[in-house]
Structure 1
Amino acid sequence: MSERVAVIAGGAKGIGRAVGLDLAERGWSVALCYRTSEKEGSETAEAIRKKGARALSVRADVSDPKAAEAFVKQVEGEWGRIDALINAAGPYHRVNLLEETIEGWHAMFDHNLHPLFYLSRLVAPGMRERRWGRIVSFSMANADQMIGQPQITGHYIAKVGVLILTRSLAKLLAPHGITVNAISPGFIRSGSAPESEMAGMIKNIPAGYVGELSDAVSVARFLLSDEARYVTGGNIHLSGGWGV
């Protein structure tokens, strides 16, 4: 895998950062982008380089199709290829649906769903040419149930959309040696939620504990590997049974 290149949207911290560090240990070059986390992005890139791998850390709001295109062109221009796309960004806010603003509503789709479309269509041509590629996106553990979510409605609908887009891309790209899959986390200790909130949720998790970053990394590692060549259009629940 020494020649392989991964692009990680939302790779500055949390699950995206952990996946990037794991790929670096396996010889991948890692390009990450972020919207606001400049300090974390620089620190993650330096940590990747300390593992002996190449790293790029780029401020790019890939909810803007022009910024997404510029980011992909930069990576391909410097490293010549993109073999894997990991969509790890997933911001959300809790607000009653009837109190949601127009701006807040659009933001949930702009930052959770649209980048998957923008980036996938940009990286797919090179993957098709090389007849190998991996696209992995993060949804949420109960998105496939399509239940009512009055406090996180926009975010939830966007994550359902990730599953549909994943399956659609999987069908289109399978003939070219490209797999497209989703990982749907429940409660993962990634730093995005207070520890007290995590502890309070344990009673709702059948496994009896909150997941670790290493749990997310192990699933992503498999889906990005050659061993997963026949796995596409999948949605792997990463939740200890929550949301199933």
Structure 2
Amino acid sequence: MTNKVALITGGAKGIGRAIALDLAAQQWSVAICYRTSNAAADETSAAIRARGGQALAVQCDVSDPKAAGDVVSQVESRWGRIDALINGAGPYHRVNLFDETPAGWREMFEGNLHPIFYLGQAVAPGMKARKQGRIINFSMANADQMVAQPEVTGHYIAKAGVLILTRTLAKLLAPYGITVNAISPGFIDSGSAPPDELAGVVKRIPAGYIGSVGDTVAAVRYLLSEEARYVNGANLHLSGGWGI
């Protein structure tokens, strides 16, 4: 049994939902932050409660600094604290760099990088006061390598920034018993990609298979565990060797 509290961005569906349900099964209180998926948020909240956790669904745009601060305040008002912040939300699109629009370029940074800064600032005071906390930021496989990515340039640069911000937060918050780590998934089968597309992807993965949502959940579970208390500023590659 636990009485810990987690805030998960992008927690209404997909991998974020799977993480939320896993924590609920461990009796965590889970706040999910979402932008537009009202029905999915309601369904996930019900599933959290069915698994023994408490749920709070907050519709917000955490790329806005005030909204990010407000959601943290709302969770802390509800349960008194936040033990874990999991930054899982982030837009993605494929477009050649020379076809990218200013709006699309801004979206990559405002959706993938800025929320980690805003939410990190917002949760830090409470975590520092309690001398404990875990922050997990999602980047992407290969974001730590200086290679050209013509079709996903904005996303790639933003996710590289996530790694730099992760390490900076880790250094600043370590004296307060707080760890900050990144997970960099490669190809994960979340059920949305066509089978023929997945078949082509497998050929690029040294392990010979595509990762599952369960692999991602297990990585989060580890970084939140007591066994990972000395892991800080790390980038956990979850890619089956893709990009080596």
* Pairs aligned (count): 244
Cα offset, 1:90, TM superposition? 2.4
1:127-173 deviations in whole A, cap 9, x for unaligned? 11111100001111110112111111100000000000000000000
Give the whole-Å Cα distance in 1 for the aligned partners of 2:241 and 2:131: 35
Q: Cα–Cα, structure 1 residues 192 and 126, in superposed 2: closer, same or farther, change >3 Å?
A: farther
Q: 1:218 — aligned with what?
A: 218
Q: 2:50 — aligned with what?
A: 50
Q: 2:28 — aligned with what?
A: 28
Alignment RMSD (CA, Å): 1.0
SS of equivalent residue, structure 1 residue 144:
coil
Aligned counterparts, 1:139-178, within 5 A: 139-178=139-178
Q: 1:97 — aligned with what?
A: 97
User: Does the 8 A contact of 1:131 with 1:177 survive in 2?
Assistant: yes
SS of equivalent residue, structure 1 residue 236:
strand
Can you give the 5+ residue segments of structure 2 that lack an aligned partner in the other structure? none
Give the whole-Å Cα distance in 2 for the aligned partners of 1:26 and 1:120: 24
TM-score normalised to structure 2 length: 0.97
Give the whole-Å Cα distance in 2 for the aligned partners of 1:137 and 1:192: 22
Cα offset, 1:196, TM superposition? 2.8
Q: Does residue 1:8 correspond to 2:2, yes or no?
A: no
1:112-140 deviations in whole A, cap 9, x for unaligned? 01000000110011111111100001111
Q: Write the letter of the residue equivalent to 1:124.
A: A
Q: Cα–Cα, structure 1 residues 193 and 89, in superposed 2: closer, same or farther, change >3 Å?
A: farther
Give the whole-Å Cα distance in 2 for the aligned partners of 1:42 and 1:243: 37
1:79-121 deviations in whole A, cap 9, x for unaligned? 1110100011122111111111100000000110100000011
User: Does the 8 A contact of 1:15 with 1:213 survive in 2?
Assistant: yes
Give the whole-Å Cα distance in 2 for the aligned partners of 1:27 and 1:195: 35
User: Does the 8 A contact of 1:146 with 1:160 survive in 2?
Assistant: no
Cα offset, 1:16, TM superposition? 1.0
Cα offset, 1:191, TM superposition? 3.5
Q: Write the letter of the residue equivalent to 2:200.
A: G
Identity fraction in percent: 68
User: Does the 8 A contact of 1:14 with 1:192 survive in 2?
Assistant: no
Q: Write the letter of the residue equivalent to 1:214.
A: G
Can you give the 5+ residue segments of structure 1 that lack an aligned partner in the other structure? none
Aligned counterparts, 1:126-141, within 5 A: 126-141=126-141
Q: Does residue 1:182 correspond to 2:168, yes or no?
A: no
